[in-house]
Chain A
Amino acid sequence: MTIVFWVLAVTTISGGLAAVLLKNTVHCALAVTGAFAGLALLFLQLDAQFAGFAQILVYIGAVAILVVFAILLTRGSETPESGVFSRTWFAGLCIAAGVFAVMAWAILNSVSALPHETVAPDVSVLQIGNALMGRYVLPLEIVALLLTAAMIGAVIVAMHEKGDVK
């Protein structure tokens, strides 16, 4: 439990809280980008360099930009007069608090059966490449197919309909 961990944890959680609580949608998108960055740094802190940089590339580089474009295309930055929270916000808050209470109780009351590893695993990109092309080649191909299908599907769904006035 180093000080770096606590700093990163506070950054991530405050980014997530700001993304959920702020009124302006653009501010929410910026705050969630901060939360994604904090999570990527937590991955790096866990010696998972490859996953950490993949997180930075995919989330901060692509998903955050996609969210900002969606906000611009839907004029979502205008705060509605009826408020930003739905009518059933109290039930949603209770459900989330209950889920967190159950998970925190389970984590704090369980004894770890795993040996406490203190030696950092030495993972090179060469090993990851070999694993991706060897043991995990089938999941890799399936993910490639899924990404292609999802990109084509997203373009078709968001495309202008025929006779649609711009």
Chain B
Amino acid sequence: MTPLAGYLLVAALVFAIGLAGALTRRNAILVLIGIELMLNAANLNLIAFWRYGPHPEALTGMMFAVFSIAVAAAEAAVGLGLVISIYRHARTTDLDEMNRMKG
């Protein structure tokens, strides 16, 4: 197994764990944590391909990962703001109970 394949396997496993968390947990905050894990796994793929790719001096993969980290931070802020807003309205963060539109 090459080093690149090792990093890709770790990233795939972290992605699958994040997906499982996002699909199986009830709490909205933990679903967001699962989504963050998936984004991080994608970043690990980008950096591994940058490191073992032909032109690392072009910095493409690392810049992609840095911008992706910034977008993930914005996503986390808006997502947690929405969770707090929904909690204030419905007094719950249980996603199984959020089955009505228009509140």
Contact = CB atoms under 8 A, between A and B. Distances in A.
Considering the complex of A and B, which 3 residue pairs feature the smallest CB-CB distances, nearest first? A92-B23, A100-B16, A121-B56
B4 A66 contact: no
Size category of the binding interface on chain A:
35 or more
Nearest to B30: A28
Contacts, number: 255
Interface string B23-50: 1111101101110110010011001111
Interface residues of B, number: 74
Grouping DSSP codes into helix (H, G, I), strand (E, B) and loop, the A interface class, with mixed when no group exceeds half, is helix
Grouping DSSP codes into helix (H, G, I), strand (E, B) and loop, the B interface class, with mixed when no group exceeds half, is helix
Interface of B: 1-10, 12-27, 29-30, 32-34, 36-37, 40, 43-44, 47-54, 56-57, 59, 62-63, 65-67, 69-78, 80-85, 87-88, 93-96
Interface string A145-166: 0110011011101101100100
